[in-house]
Amino acid sequence: MNPAIGAAAAERPAAMAGHEVLAVVLQIRDDRLSVLLWRRARPPFEDRWVLPGGRLGDREGLGESVRRQLAQKVDVRDLTHLEQLETRGEPDRHPYGRMLATAYLGLVPADIDPVIPCDTHWHPASDLPPMGFDHAAMVHSGRRRLRAKLSYTNVGFALAPPEFTMSQLSRYYRAALGHDVAATNLRRVLLRRGQIEETGESVPSGRSGGRPAALFRFRTRRLEITDAFAVLRPPPEG
């Protein structure tokens, strides 16, 4: 036997099988939709960026497992929304054996800044670093799910702080959707759908003067379908 092949085989663990849970955690940071990733410290894909998560415990459910692992491994507990995204079971998705993976989509509001470990960082979801396994595809699935749900649900509550101006909210929607969203149009649409309401308060005008900006809030901070047939599309070109 080739000594190099023998050494590599000795370092490779025995065939594994099981089920892991992973989290696509998204947040609007500096007006960009960002995803939380951590750098692997061991093979396979050593030094590549991956989604936080790990093996499903013998006596825990999927949602319970992903919340536990986010809290223990990357110290993220401030999720305002968490939902199951997809399950992948391709035989070759893990180089060491058959491993099912269930991904969750988690959202953190823009006013929260979680304290995360030094090997964990936020990355622009539209400009991912080299990633391990099939985790980049899961990030893309999370972005598509978020964009779709912004069209027909009130999931924007999970991106925004409890109170906001329409200018702020339009920036969050712009970052998530990937195209411009006018504050006046967004206000009209979300008021018509019953998603937001005025708080009766306002923020003072800046140095340039002008009218104080009204503060809004989402009517509820639980997921609701508000328009099953609506789609927020980019404005027409030309």
Residue 163 lies in a domain: yes
Clarify whether residues 103 and 19 are in a common domain: yes
Residue 25 lies in a domain: yes
Output the pLDDT for position 9: 42
Q: How far apart are CA 72 and CA 70, in angstroms?
A: 6
Clarify whether residues 118 and 26 are in a common domain: yes
Clarify whether residues 146 and 73 are in a common domain: yes
Clarify whether residues 135 and 182 are in a common domain: no
Output the pLDDT for position 1: 45
Residue 186 lies in a domain: yes
Clarify whether residues 28 and 74 are in a common domain: yes
- Count of domains in the chain? 2
Residue 237 lies in a domain: no
Residue 8 lies in a domain: no
Q: How many residues does the chain have?
A: 238
Examine the fold and report which residue of 95, 115, 150 is the final residue of a domain before the chain moves on. Answer: 150
Output the pLDDT for position 207: 64
Q: How far apart are CA 181 and CA 169, in angstroms?
A: 9
Residue 10 lies in a domain: no
- Per the structure, the complete domain to which residue 189 belongs is given by 151-218
Clarify whether residues 75 and 134 are in a common domain: yes
Q: What is the CATH number of the domain that holds 193?
A: 1.10.10.10
Residue 223 lies in a domain: no
For the whole model, what pTM was predicted?
0.88
Clarify whether residues 24 and 107 are in a common domain: yes
Clarify whether residues 69 and 129 are in a common domain: yes
Clarify whether residues 30 and 91 are in a common domain: yes
Q: What is the mean pLDDT of each run of 10 residues along the chain (238 residues)?
A: 43 68 98 97 96 94 95 90 96 92 97 94 98 98 97 97 97 96 96 96 75 94 87 58
Examine the fold and report which residue of 105, 127, 150 is the final residue of a domain before the chain moves on. Answer: 150
Q: What is the CATH number of the domain that holds 47?
A: 3.90.79.10
Handedness of CA 55, 78, 177, 190 (dihedral sign): positive
Clarify whether residues 112 and 47 are in a common domain: yes
Clarify whether residues 196 and 172 are in a common domain: yes
Clarify whether residues 96 and 146 are in a common domain: yes
Examine the fold and report which residue of 98, 133, 150 is the final residue of a domain before the chain moves on. Answer: 150
Output the pLDDT for position 235: 61
Residue 224 lies in a domain: no
Q: How far apart are CA 169 and CA 217, in angstroms?
A: 10
Dihedral Cα 50, 176, 74, 105, nearest 10 deg: -80
